[in-house]
Amino acid sequence: MRSLFVILDRSVVGELIQTDGGEHRFSYIGARTAPISLSMPVDGGQFRHRVVDPFLEGLLPDQASVREALAARYGVSPRNPFALLEHIGLDCAGAVRFADAEHLTRALDDDGELVALSEKEIGARLAALEEGREPSWIAPGEGWSPAGSRFRPGWRRSAGRVPPPGPMVTRRVSRSGARPWDDPGVSSPLLSVVVPAYNSADFLLACLETLVVPGGEVEVVVVDDGSSDATGEVAEGFASAHEDFRVIRQENKGHGGAVNTGVAAATGTWIKVVDSDDALDPVALARVLTQLREWRDQGVEPDLVVTNFVYMRADRRPHRHAVRYPRILPQGRVGSWSDVGRFRPDQYLMMHALMYRTEVLRDSGMRLPEHCFYVDNLYSFEPLIHVDSLVYINEDLYLYTIGREGQSVSDEVIVTRLDQHDRVNALMLEAMPRTGEVGPELEAYLIHIYLMSCVVITTMALRSNTPANLAIKDRLWARMEKQRPDVYTKLRRKTLGRVLHLPGRAGRTVPVLGYHVARRVLALN
């Protein structure tokens, strides 16, 4: 985490923070009679990414070429407003200025004076720059106003702070290949694909081959989560031949920890997670990218893009089952939750269907628990609360492989990890908005998907019939009744909720029988 003091009228009025995940936050310090922005009132507490970023953008140059030149000079990304303000924050547009702890005293005590440059002096400096005699036309000890239409090349600040040019700094932890991802000359990719990988050397290559898209519109971030096999080597070997791929290697943190790392490293407008034993359909991907490109060119960036996912059997049996959302989600147009219809029990927005706008995902504050299975349920739950706009593209994009021995979604494995399912369920309940905090359509869907989590835990506990798992089931419903009686009441009134609480022998057999019938119909066994 990095921070800058925010200065107004030679007084420190607040603190700007950039988290390790790249999120910007602002808080006022002390008492003030006026806000620095109407979007950030003094009594508004801590302001997050969605509010702070537009304010920061307004302080920086409007012209991309100006911003890129500044970024190149100081060795930072032009897409990182915090990094730019670390260097030019004492002389940006408007009355607000920024300084780190090292330069705060100078910023408060001495603003210097403005003096004009003559045309002759300007010409001499430009000539020296063109001839390569000087690395910059800004002399030591000078500061400049770089902000868009307020750019003043003919003025210098005699006592301002101008840090010397430094080396290029990137965000990557480790990468194979040669592409400089934070190079100012490289535009942001349309889509970032995060591939969490653990001991997946046998099938990782097949996954990565489906993600190759020429032209730089797709970046692929493979996170090797402390594998003990050749996963890391396979990933780096593939990345060395494909410039849009990079590899991050870390100590084992589990699926959630790998996803967290990939999300923090992503630079694309939208982000999608693809498990290392799954794949994307290349034809569907090309069509989806065409639509994303059109939207971005039009200045339209929906918070959530939903596509279909298809269950594929590892044993290559021909049966396919696709989960699709026609007549439920807005298709062909960007809509909102008010446009969302009613989901059937077999319809749900799994991680495989989701493509979040990267900024929205980070703004949600979601942090998946480490060393825990079934975090996909939290990924497809908590960020939805922060989604305002969404759209459905009817393409069978994600190919979800099932049927591998020891797979976490198999019944035999679920019953041994029911405590981890319950851990995720508790986090979902914690994230559940209060009645009235979100619209009725979103609230209905969140209740629906949370009920599905409860169904899995309850039926698996009944199926295993072990004291430990039955205790997990009872703890789940007791926790819900105590912490969120409103949610408890809604679930108990639903048909599935009543089935889960049938008395006697029926209560032990009917839920399990129904669960197995459903899985057979969907070919999940």
pLDDT, tens digit (0-9, with 9 covering 90-100), for 479-505: 999 999 999 999 988 877 776 765 555
Which residues are registered as beta bridge partners of 115?
156
Q: Round the average pLDDT of the chain to a whole number and report it.
A: 80
Residues 205 and 333 in one domain: yes
* pLDDT computed for residue 269 by the predictor: 95
* pLDDT computed for residue 153 by the predictor: 35
pLDDT band at 155 (very low <50, low <70, confident <90, very high): very low
Q: Is the pLDDT of residue 217 over 50?
A: yes
Residues 301 and 183 in one domain: yes
Q: Is the pLDDT of residue 369 over 90?
A: yes
Average pLDDT over every residue of 237-259: 94
For residue 476, give both structure tokens. 């789940």
Give the domain CATH number at 209: 3.90.550.10
Domain of 520, in residue numbers: 410-525
- Does residue 162 lie in a domain region? no
Cβ atoms of 402 and 413 within 8 Å: the answer is no
Q: Is the pLDDT of residue 170 over 80?
A: no
Average pLDDT over every residue of 34-51: 78
Average pLDDT over every residue of 101-122: 62
Q: Is the pLDDT of residue 263 over 80?
A: yes
DSSP strand pairing (2-8 vs 11-18): antiparallel
- Does residue 201 lie in a domain region? yes
Among residues 371, 405, 439, the one where a domain terminates is 405
Q: Is the pLDDT of residue 460 over 70?
A: yes
358-381 burial: b if 16+ Cβ within 10 Å, else e: bbbbbbbebebbbebbbbbbbbbb
Among residues 378, 405, 432, the one where a domain terminates is 405
Residues 294 and 367 in one domain: yes
CA distance 512 to 189: 46
CA dihedral 150→154→155→156, nearest 10 degrees, is 120
Q: 3-class SS at 20?
A: coil
* pLDDT computed for residue 502 by the predictor: 53
CA distance 205 to 7: 52
Residues 380 and 424 in one domain: no
CA distance 232 to 247: 8
Q: Is the pLDDT of residue 404 over 70?
A: no
- Does residue 165 lie in a domain region? no
Residues 176 and 211 in one domain: yes
Instruction: State how many domains the chain has.
Output: 3
- Does residue 166 lie in a domain region? no
Q: Is the pLDDT of residue 508 over 60?
A: no
Q: Is the pLDDT of residue 231 over 70?
A: yes
CA distance from start to end of the chain? 46
Residues 401 and 311 in one domain: yes
For residue 445, give both structure tokens. 């869907």
For residue 267, give both structure tokens. 């630079």
Q: Is the pLDDT of residue 384 over 90?
A: yes
Cβ atoms of 181 and 91 within 8 Å: the answer is no
CA gyration radius, the chain: 27
User: Taking the CA of residue 110 as centre, how many other CA atoms within 13 Å lie in the half-sphere pointing to its CB?
Assistant: 11
Average pLDDT over every residue of 36-46: 77
- Does residue 60 lie in a domain region? yes
pLDDT band at 146 (very low <50, low <70, confident <90, very high): very low
Residues 208 and 259 in one domain: yes
Residues 401 and 440 in one domain: no
Residues 353 and 433 in one domain: no
CA distance 139 to 136: 7
- Does residue 425 lie in a domain region? yes
Residue 26's H or E segment, with its range, is strand 24-28
* pLDDT computed for residue 164 by the predictor: 33
* pLDDT computed for residue 29 by the predictor: 77
Q: Among 69, 56, 79, 36, which residue's Cα sits nearest to residue 151?
A: 69
User: Taking the CA of residue 87 as centre, how many other CA atoms within 13 Å lie in the half-sphere pointing to its CB?
Assistant: 22
Q: Is the pLDDT of residue 103 over 50?
A: yes
* pLDDT computed for residue 235 by the predictor: 95
Cβ atoms of 93 and 150 within 8 Å: the answer is yes
- Does residue 98 lie in a domain region? yes
Higher pLDDT, 497 or 156: 497
Name 21's Cβ contacts closer than 8 Å, sequence gap at least 6: 263, 264, 362
Q: Is the pLDDT of residue 203 over 80?
A: yes
Residues 88 and 217 in one domain: no
pLDDT band at 302 (very low <50, low <70, confident <90, very high): very high
Residues 331 and 345 in one domain: yes
Higher pLDDT, 502 or 466: 466
pLDDT per residue over 322-357, tens digit each? Answer: 899 999 999 989 999 999 998 887 788 999 999 999
Average pLDDT over every residue of 12-41: 79
Residues 139 and 180 in one domain: no
Cβ atoms of 270 and 356 within 8 Å: the answer is yes
CA distance 89 to 72: 16
* pLDDT computed for residue 148 by the predictor: 32
Q: How far, CA to CA in Å, does 371 sit from each of 255, 383, 423, 450?
A: 7, 20, 11, 22
- Does residue 333 lie in a domain region? yes
Higher pLDDT, 185 or 139: 139
Among residues 129, 157, 185, the one where a domain terminates is 157
Higher pLDDT, 511 or 282: 282
Q: Please name the residue that has the structure tokens 């899985």.
A: 519
Average pLDDT over every residue of 226-255: 94
Cβ atoms of 277 and 395 within 8 Å: the answer is no
